[in-house]
Amino acid sequence: MGIFSRLSDIVNANINAILDRAEDPRKIIRLIIQEMEDTLVEVRSSAVQTIAERREIERRIDLLARTEAEWSRRAELALTHSREDLARGALQARAEVTREREALAVQLQQIVLGLSQQDADIAKLQAKLADAKSREKALLSRHGIASSRVKLRQKLHDERLTDAAARFEQVERSLDALEGKVESFDLGRRTLADEIGSLETDAAIELELAALKARMASGADTKSDA
């Protein structure tokens, strides 16, 4: 199982547990980042161990290569002294060392390949972690705004506000009725100034009416003379 598959399983399991408890989404965001950081530490620790193993195998291969060379020298030395039996034994010993060195070489190749894959995984995980941290503030901001809007909507739909608004309207209606009652007292009541003003208006109209009659009479006399 790759580190990302394992990480996904861990994160999903923990997120589901949080969602089941209806906890704050901020905890989910923090949990995801924490799981990624923990996984990164774990993978790096594993890589350190693998690197140490690679170096140990490289030392063993180097030692075996020197041992091979030594058995070859011994085989040549035995032949110079006409000891083919010893030379044969030295070559057999060298062959065993060669087989061990070649097996270690295969193991080393696998370790190098694994380290290359680990490096790629670590780079990807670091990139994902950096992206998660850069998006954390934006996500928390969105969560804060959404939470505030939810609280505001809840308050707007609060029955206490509805009752308060209804009582406010009731007060307005009471004031309207009171003001109407005040105005009703003034209906039909004329002040002294109103009455004098009315007399002045009536006098002016009478004068204008008399003048109009005079003009019409004058006009009629002019037509009859003609």
Structure tokens at 40: 């990164």
The pTM assigned to this predicted structure is 0.49
C-beta of residue 126 within 8 angstroms of C-beta of residue 9: no
Summary mean pLDDT of the chain: 76
Structure tokens at 183: 């105005």
Lowest-confidence region among 31-35, 98-102, 130-134, 188-192: 188-192
Count CA atoms within 13 Å of residue 90 on its CB side.
18
Helix, strand, coil tally for the chain in percent (to 5)? 90, 0, 10
